[in-house]
Structure 1
Amino acid sequence: MSEQSEDQDLAARAAAGDQGAFRTLYRAHVRPVYWIAHGILRSPADAEDVTQETFVTAWRKLPGLQLKGESLLPWLATICRFQSANRLRQRRRDLAHTTDAASESLPGTVNVEEQVITTELAARIADEIGTLGELDREIFRLCAAEGYAYQEAADELGVTSAAVRNRLSRVRTQLRSTVQESRDA
């Protein structure tokens, strides 16, 4: 099953209240959403909060979503950008109430071009992950997205720890090439 059709199936099941399907969507897209938020906010804590807010909003809006042949990531990225813009406005309001001087560390606007580049990069990475074989995708999901140690992932998948380490290294190299190509383009 392709990532797009899998996203459609999971989104439909989650919209019907299937929390397990939503958890699967969350695991599949949490890292790209986090990096979009981090790119805008430049704060790990705020990026984590916005990532969670993005998925809470997505859960509420899923029943009305009409996903037509695409990954869920562009929709999540849009929610993330709005949540990030709201967070920036809140930071400025909080700062205005606590000090007389405006902080130059807070961006006055959201850089749309940077958001588009970040979203495109996240989509390219998601597409690249979609081209991986099933075992490599599972290894990447377990180790990179869920934080499993090599041995834990190996036990889960019924392979050796060395196989997990070698395959994950190859996947990371492939993803680094994708990121580098995006930067060079």
Structure 2
Amino acid sequence: MLHAQPAEATATDEKLMGQVAQGDRAAYAQLVSRHVNRAYALARRIGSRPAEAEEVAQEAFLRVWTHATQWSEDKGRFSAWLSRIVTNLCIDRMRRSEHAAVAWEEAAEAVADPSVDLESDLHRRQLAQQVAAEVARLPDRQRMALSLCHYGGVSNADAADILGVSVGAVEALLVRARRTLAQRLQSLNRL
């Protein structure tokens, strides 16, 4: 026998935000549950260390709760709005910090596949570390555009809105970032 899911479980993010704006804590908890991992992952990709990324995700959802009445569907999807909040919090932290050291190596390491032999696994990890290190060296805007579009699954239009630039500017940032990464990685492989 099939059991129907509660209406809240199938509600869109946008509908839940309308409920959050009215003070519905259950709707808020559902949004947090749906998006906290994505917010954390985006903060890590932009350049936050694990503890900082947790703080950014928490602060982002605090802002979702406290500014829920300011959001409207006219401004775009909830996920794009949340990505904008996370990105802005990361930018603020980078501006405040004396150094924007990035722990990309930790974020880039994938779980080892037991079917891969040790040598292949070591090579894959080294490559992931090289890519992570080179991504971390990109200029902030290029790294953020790449993080949003490639790792965060955000559209170019949403990334443009989040970064406060045109779609063409985002596309240019992505082209430059990818070109720079390809050149750097190619020169590393020649060594």
Q: TM-score range by the shorter chain?
A: 0.5 to 0.7
Secondary structure of 1:119's match?
helix
C-alpha deviation, 1:42, in angstroms: 3.7
**Matches of 1:116 and 1:71 in 2, distance apart?**
18
Query: TM-score, normalised to structure 2's length?
Result: 0.51
C-alpha deviation, 1:41, in angstroms: 2.6
Structure 1 unmatched ranges of 5 or more: 93-102, 125-182
Secondary structure of 1:123's match?
coil
| Structure 1 residue runs of 4 or more that deviate by more than 4 Å after TM superposition | 106-110
Cα 1:84–1:104 shift into 2, 3 Å: closer
1:116 to 131, 136, 145: 145
Q: Residue 105 of structure 1 corresponds to which residue in structure 2?
A: 101
C-alpha deviation, 1:116, in angstroms: 2.6
1:90 aligns with 2:96: yes
Question: Aligned pairs, how many?
Answer: 114
Q: Is contact 1:36-1:119 (8 Å) kept?
A: yes
**Matches of 2:44 and 2:100 in 1, distance apart?**
18
**Matches of 1:118 and 1:70 in 2, distance apart?**
20
Structure 2 unmatched ranges of 5 or more: 1-6, 103-135, 155-177, 179-191
Q: Residue 76 of structure 1 corresponds to which residue in structure 2?
A: 82
Secondary structure of 2:32's match?
helix
**Matches of 1:10 and 1:104 in 2, distance apart?**
35
C-alpha deviation, 1:14, in angstroms: 0.5
Q: Is contact 1:54-1:76 (8 Å) kept?
A: yes
Letter in 2 for 1:86: D
C-alpha deviation, 1:114, in angstroms: 2.6
Across the aligned residues of Structure 1 and Structure 2, the Cα RMSD in angstroms comes to 3.2
Letter in 2 for 1:117: L
